[in-house]
Amino acid sequence: MDPLVFGDYSHLMKSLIGARLLRFTAEQTHVTNFANDVVNVSYTTDNHANLTTSINGVPAGEKEGINLKGFFAWAIMDNFEWDSALTSRFGLNYVDFTGGLKRYPKLSAKWLTNFLKK
């Protein structure tokens, strides 16, 4: 995953394989940062992600008369993840942590927007 996430190979892979690894240009490194969003879309549509209709065994929303079919836990923005700091990006919007915290909608945000319009 390192090439997709960081645009380069891990230190371990470099030490084991060395000069036989393909080299990334600056442009390719930039493209791989956005390719990671495609991985996130695949990850969240995997069969391990499921629609939840209850919280701790209690039906969600029905007591208040809300016609809730289910919900997903989702991050709107990339954020700090305890086990991987700022390197994991699960949000719908890319946050540039080094460029003034500018936000850019990811492909997953556009997909969700189109899905919700249906």
pLDDT, tens digit, for every residue of 35-68?
Answer: 556 555 555 555 555 556 666 676 666 566 766 6
pTM: 0.35
- Residues facing residue 103 across a β-bridge: 95
SS3 102: strand
SS3 17: helix
Residue 15 above 60 pLDDT?
A: yes
Q: Model confidence over 70-118: pLDDT tens digits?
A: 555 456 666 656 666 666 777 788 878 788 888 888 888 888 788 778 7
Residue span of the structural domain in which 12 resides: 2-117
Nearest to 41 by CA among 113, 107, 104: 107
CA distance 60 to 68: 7
Question: What pLDDT band is residue 5 in, cutting at 50, 70 and 90?
Answer: low
Number of domain units in the chain: 1
Mark 6-36 as b/e (b = at least 16 C-beta within 10 Å): ebebeeeeeeeeeeeeeebeeeeeeebeeeb
